[in-house]
Amino acid sequence: MTVDGAQLWTLNQRLLSVVMDACTEELADLGLETKEFFVLAEVAASPYPAEIAVALLLPKASVTVYVRNLVAKGFIRREIDDADLRRHRLVLTTEGAEARDRALAALAAEYDRRLARITPQDRTELQRILQQMLSPG
Amino acid sequence: MTVDGAQLWTLNQRLLSVVMDACTEELADLGLETKEFFVLAEVAASPYPAEIAVALLLPKASVTVYVRNLVAKGFIRREIDDADLRRHRLVLTTEGAEARDRALAALAAEYDRRLARITPQDRTELQRILQQMLSPG
DNA sequence: CTGTATTAGTTCCAAGCTGTACCAGTATCG
DNA sequence: CGATACTGGTACAGCTTGGAACTAATACAG
């Protein structure tokens, strides 16, 4: 018998909601809104607003807002890209990198609380499966 | 711990975003906003607004709006609960059930497109793992 | 009964998000 | 070079969202 995709999806969806909800307060303590955190965490991999928008499936206008906030909070810094003067290269500040790491740790801790219920073997399994499902194509 | 919880979380999060984004248009064709769909899909299991709010981690005020829209679209109907006159028992209309099923099918199709990359064995595996992680505690 | 506390659902309005229009810099073509 | 098309980022107006206050029904104590 095949596993029901919709059911599986709902299950997964709910899991992520619950974990994120549990972390919202800790993120706030670090001075981060949920959406802002996602942007902050993406800066290292995608240092330009346009790239972040694509990576996170967010409208450009929204990224503008989150970046503005993150700059105001001193978590990131804008630099002008010498190669393309329209671009704002985003750079993590020391505080930004620290906040991001702490936020990721908090998230991992909560997720780990869930992961702890399954065996290490299952965790490796899970990672492999998700990676496979997410791979481009 | 060999598997990084934060990484795993991000992976999973991204997968769900991508799948949901891919379905948004199809849901719109059915006359459903994304959030409305979640409410519609929950009505059968949680027939009262307050229950839906708890189940979906949504504020009551938001549920009010989505329910209003779903009623206006003819997907659900309000009935007064004889046992408790404050309560609005929500009932799926025929159109509502049909729209929900089609939406779920679209979602499952997209998720299946991803699931198709892994073996049936892995799917069962995945379901078991997620269920375990989500179980109350 | 009356008074107090609790719960279901709504309304109000402030805060948040995003589509659209826009400006500035780049690329290409003649 | 000048015209046209495109891309990066921002501004703003309009819609969506959700916290707080509110109303109506229930529960229960005295």
Residue-range domains of chain B with CATH: 12-128 (1.10.10.10)
Residue showing tokens 């059930």 = B97
List the A60 CA – C22 C1' distance (angstroms): 14
Reply yes or no on whether the pLDDT at A125 is more than 90: no
In this prediction, residue A112 has a pLDDT band, given cuts at 50, 70 and 90, of: confident
Nearest to A126 by CA among B19, B116, B9: B9
The larger pLDDT score, comparing residue B59 to residue A12, is at B59
How far, in Å, is the CA of A85 from the C1' of nucleotide D9?
11
Contacts of A112 in chain B (CB under 8 A): 1, 5
- What percentage of residues in chain A have a pLDDT greater than 90? 55
Alpha helices (H) in chain A, listed in sequence order? 5-29, 34-42, 49-56, 60-72, 94-115, 120-134
| B64-85: average pLDDT | 95
Q: Do B115 and A11 touch (CB under 8 A)?
A: no
Which of A58-62, A100-104, B45-49, B118-122 is least confident?
Answer: B118-122
Question: How many angstroms separate the CA of residue A34 from the nearest CA in chain B?
Answer: 13
3-class DSSP state of B79: strand
Q: Which of B6, B105, B123 sits opposite A3 (nearest CB)?
A: B123
B33 touches strand D (CB under 7 A): yes
Task: Look at residue B121 and tell me whether its pLDDT is greater than 50.
Answer: yes
The overall average pLDDT reported for chain B is 89
Q: What pLDDT is attached to residue B47?
A: 97
The Cα angle at residue A38 between residues A101 and A134, in degrees rounded to 5: 105
Tokens coding B100: 């929900």
* Nucleotide with smallest C1' distance to residue B59 CA: D18
Its sign, for the CA torsion B26, B30, B34, B38, is negative
